[in-house]
């Protein structure tokens, strides 16, 4: 299944952001509107209603670079250190949604083309690899993380992460529960696991192995709230578990492994966000 996913997303990498621009934009807004709900002590959060300065005071503002790069804004003032691990990161949608509130983002993806796209976008924005960088790897392989030295990589062997994310990846995994467990081990006590994915929208696949051999990268047609809750609890990140369904749904298209149509009509999938905290 891992090889099916790798090949599928290698093919999708160059056009992925364009195909999913509306979905990515919506998810980014939904996530950024729920920073308090996610429950991480972020590096910084803008709050226009809670300013310690009067509007009339003469305040020295940090200068933006000529290109207005995110890097210059992120490094303008000292910030609390907050590390993000973005698993199955793809081109970096979850990273980009949360980067303004963190100090370091590390992506992992099985697709080398997705990792290249992630890193190219960061470089284009002028963000240093120390702040944002992805590596190729499979954290959820049944026989242990791959490559074998993945966890000794300098970007993973530092202090534990404050937040780990999986954006639209669980339904592609052979064993989502194992992935959650492996991610929980990388979190500090009190750290948060945050995922988005699809609610159930079809019968469970009993022919998963044949389906994968046929070149399709989906084994789970959505995940129920009960399953996600049990997954978080088993992984040790069930404290304060919450799951919210976002609006009226989306049309994901075939890049997420769905054909996106039913009898010729676009199919809308319910999307959820779920969060849970590692016990202190």
At 39 the pLDDT is: 97
How much is the pLDDT for 24? 94
Structure confidence at residue 7 (pLDDT)? 85
- The model's pLDDT over 49-78, given as tens digits with 9 standing for 90+, comes to 444 444 444 444 444 444 444 544 455 556
Q: What are phi and psi of 275, to 5 degrees?
A: -140, 150
Q: Do 245 and 272 contact (CB within 8 A), yes or no?
A: yes
Per-residue pLDDT of 190-240, as tens digits, reads 999 999 999 986 655 444 444 444 445 555 568 999 999 999 999 999 999
Handedness of CA 102, 108, 109, 112 (dihedral sign): positive
Residues 79 and 71: beta-carbon distance below 8 Å:
no
* pLDDT at 36 > cutoff 70: yes
Supply the pLDDT for residue 253.
53
Task: Name the nearest CA neighbour of 93 among 77, 126, 117.
Answer: 117
Question: How much is the average pLDDT of 20-37?
Answer: 95
Average pLDDT over every residue of 237-260: 72
Q: Which alpha helices (DSSP H) does the chain contain, by range?
A: 2-12, 16-19, 21-32, 35-38, 70-74, 93-98, 112-124, 176-185, 208-213, 225-235
Q: Per the structure block, which two tokens stand in for 211?
A: 């389906």
- For the entire predicted model, the pTM comes to 0.81
Residue 144: pLDDT over 70: yes
3-class state of residue 269 by DSSP: strand
Residue 165 has pLDDT above 90, yes or no: yes
Is omega for the bond preceding 147 within 30 degrees of 0, making it cis?
A: yes
Given pLDDT bands bounded at 50, 70 and 90, which one contains residue 2? confident
pLDDT at residue 126, rounded to an integer: 96
Residue 242: strand pairing partners:
275
Q: What is the CA radius of gyration of the chain?
A: 19
Least confident of 77-91, 123-137, 172-186, 222-236: 77-91
Highest mean pLDDT: which of 8-12, 126-130, 203-207? 126-130
What are the helix (H) ranges across 33-146?
35-38, 70-74, 93-98, 112-124
The pLDDT score that the predictor gives to residue 222 is 85
Helices 176-185/225-235 angle, 10° precision? 40
Say what the pLDDT of residue 1 is. 66
* pLDDT computed for residue 255 by the predictor: 45
């Amino acid at each position: 299944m891992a090889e099916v996913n790798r090949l599928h997303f290698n093919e999708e990498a160059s056009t992925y952001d364009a195909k999913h621009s509306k979905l990515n934009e919506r998810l980014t807004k939904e996530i950024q509107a729920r920073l308090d709900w996610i429950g991480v002590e972020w590096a910084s959060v803008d709050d226009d209603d809670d300013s310690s300065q009067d509007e009339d005071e003469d305040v020295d503002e940090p200068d933006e670079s000529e290109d207005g790069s995110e890097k210059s804004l992120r490094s303008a003032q000292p910030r609390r250190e907050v590390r993000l691990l973005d698993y199955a990161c793809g081109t970096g949608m979850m990273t980009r949604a949360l980067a303004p509130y963190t100090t370091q983002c590390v992506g992992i993806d099985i697709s080398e083309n997705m990792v290249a796209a992630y890193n190219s976008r960061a470089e284009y924005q002028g963000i240093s690899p120390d702040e944002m960088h992805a590596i190729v790897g499979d954290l959820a392989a049944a026989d242990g993380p791959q490559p074998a030295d993945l966890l000794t990589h300098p970007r993973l062997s530092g202090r534990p992460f404050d937040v780990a994310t999986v954006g639209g990846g669980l339904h592609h995994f052979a064993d989502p529960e194992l992935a959650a467990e492996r991610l929980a081990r990388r979190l500090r006590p009190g750290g948060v696991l945050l995922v988005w994915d699809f609610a159930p929208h079809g019968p469970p696949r009993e022919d998963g192995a044949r389906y994968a051999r046929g070149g399709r990268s989906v084994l789970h047609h959505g995940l129920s709230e009960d399953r996600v809750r049990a997954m978080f609890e088993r992984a040790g990140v069930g404290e304060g578990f919450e799951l919210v369904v976002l609006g009226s749904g989306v049309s994901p298209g075939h890049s997420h492994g769905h054909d996106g149509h039913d009898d010729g009509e676009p199919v809308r999938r319910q999307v959820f966000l779920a969060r849970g905290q590692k016990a202190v």
